[in-house]
């Protein structure tokens, strides 16, 4: 299922919320991943940088389902473990008024892993 998100809203959000030391994007293009995610997942092309945005699906959800906040916190907790390589979570947003649900933004990959190893970790 394709769930479009507003590129202008995401770009303005990134321009105000990127952590200090992280490049501030001036352009943005968004492509939704189409396979395998129960939470909508998007690839963000920000100038020369790529990021991933994950959010809960819109509408009424079962209690305890689609908790992207919990997912992001788990990824952050695992980030120091070399045996469980995960990308860095850059932004965790619980304000549902921005995109309609909670969401988080993370790196596309774990820089220390080869592309093949990253695929093996995530698919």
Helix (H, G, I), strand (E, B) or coil at 11: helix
Q: Give 4-42 pLDDT, tens digit per residue.
A: 788 999 999 999 999 888 888 999 999 888 765 677 889
Domain ranges of the chain: 7-122
pTM of the model: 0.79
pLDDT of residue 78: 83
Residue 62 contacts by C-beta under 8 Å, 6 or more apart in sequence?
A: none
Q: Name the class of domain 7-122.
A: alpha beta
Closest alpha carbon to 112 in 79, 65, 72: 79
When pLDDT is averaged across residues 44-50 and rounded to a whole number, the result is: 89
Rank 36-50, 56-70, 93-107 by mean pLDDT and report only the highest.
93-107
When pLDDT is averaged across residues 66-75 and rounded to a whole number, the result is: 82
pLDDT of residue 56: 79
């Amino acid at each position: 299922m394709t769930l479009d998100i507003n590129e202008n809203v995401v770009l303005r959000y990134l321009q105000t919320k990127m952590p200090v030391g992280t490049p501030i994007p001036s352009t943005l293009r968004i492509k939704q991943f189409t396979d395998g995610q129960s939470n909508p997942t998007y690839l963000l092309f920000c100038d020369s940088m790529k990021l991933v945005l994950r959010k809960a699906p819109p509408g009424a959800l079962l209690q305890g389902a689609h908790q992207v906040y919990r997912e992001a916190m788990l990824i952050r907790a695992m980030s120091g473990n070399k045996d469980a390589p995960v990308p860095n979570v850059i932004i965790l947003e619980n304000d549902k008024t921005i995109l309609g649900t909670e969401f988080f933004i993370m790196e596309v990959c774990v820089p220390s892993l080869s592309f093949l190893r990253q695929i093996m970790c995530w698919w």
